[in-house]
Amino acid sequence: MKNVKKENLPQKTCAVCGRPFSWRKKWEKVWDEVKYCSDRCRSNSKKTSC
């Protein structure tokens, strides 16, 4: 993903809050597995699933 403008990065919708979030460098290898926009949403998903 070199030399790609920010507006052209892939986006997903968070499974908890429903907000769109963009690709990040730290998610480069696991982008297909990313479901949540933040640690806060990830922890909230575990609370609501019980």
CB atoms within 10 A of CB 21: 17
Which distant-in-sequence residues (6+ apart) come within 8 Å of 6 by Cβ? Answer: 22
Residue pLDDT tens, the chain, 50 long: 678 888 899 999 999 999 999 999 999 999 999 999 999 999 998 876 54
- Report pLDDT for 3: 81
Domain extent listing, the chain? 8-35
Pairing verdict, β 11-13 and 20-22: antiparallel
R_g of the chain computed on alpha carbons: 12
Helix (H, G, I), strand (E, B) or coil at 20: strand
